Amino acid sequence: MTRDQFDNAFSFFPLSEIIQTRSSKTKVKKLLETFICSKNSDLQDFLHDQAMTFESHLRSRTYVYLDNATREVAAYFTIAVNTLHTDGISSEVILLLDGYKDDTQTIPCFLIGQVGKSDRYEEFKIGEHILADTVEIINSAQHALGGRFILLDAINQPKVIAFYQHNAFFPIEEDEGQESIKMIKPYFEVME
């Protein structure tokens, strides 16, 4: 799907705007429950049960794509400011991420907490567009505030890891059979 086709098929809204324009939390919850993700119940559960709370407590910001034809949630992403705990990360990687110290315990970063699309849209190749929008919003914050990298926990599946690597993210921990792998997109040039 081209970017123009994507923009014509879906409308993009911050969840905070949806909350403000709907007359009740029940209506917002009902809308969010149109998002179904059988491949990853954590994505579905977060949007159904936690996104509004995280929004109201200023823990994160969620952005929703509504299908223009059905008015159902087709996809969403959640971003936040966070810290990377450096336990288990090599001192070389810590120095690279922190910029000047290799013994720091935490490093501030931007976090992509959730990125998902509903089952109904599985055949649509829209992940690149969703990730581009996600990074664009974070880039605006980074230009205003500074920051060295974007962090995400990618599901440890070759297809998912390859998708993020294709989009300039790289793993910062070894694949040791864990469920997810921390990946970053730096705001500095990585020397290899």
Strands 170-171, 180-186: pairing kind: antiparallel
Neighbours of 55 (CB within 10 A): 19
- What domains lie within the chain, and their CATH numbers? 3-186 (3.40.630.30)
pLDDT digits (tens, 9 = 90+) for 114-158: 999 999 998 888 999 999 999 999 999 999 998 999 999 999 999
pLDDT digits (tens, 9 = 90+) for 66-102: 999 999 999 999 999 999 999 888 888 888 888 888 7
Residues of the chain with pLDDT > 90, as a percent, come to: 73
For 188, the token pair is 């500095």
Taking the C-alpha atoms of residue 39 and residue 26, their distance in angstroms, rounded to an integer, is: 26
pLDDT band at residue 190 under the 50/70/90 scheme: low
pLDDT band at residue 21 under the 50/70/90 scheme: confident
Question: Across the strands, what pairs with 75?
Answer: 65, 117
- pLDDT the model gives residue 189: 63
Neighbours of 120 (CB within 10 A): 16
Taking the C-alpha atoms of residue 180 and residue 49, their distance in angstroms, rounded to an integer, is: 22
Residue scoring higher pLDDT (5 or 188): 5
Report the predicted TM-score, pTM, of the whole model to 2 decimal places. 0.91
For 179, the token pair is 């469920």
The residue to which tokens 């914050």 are assigned? 141
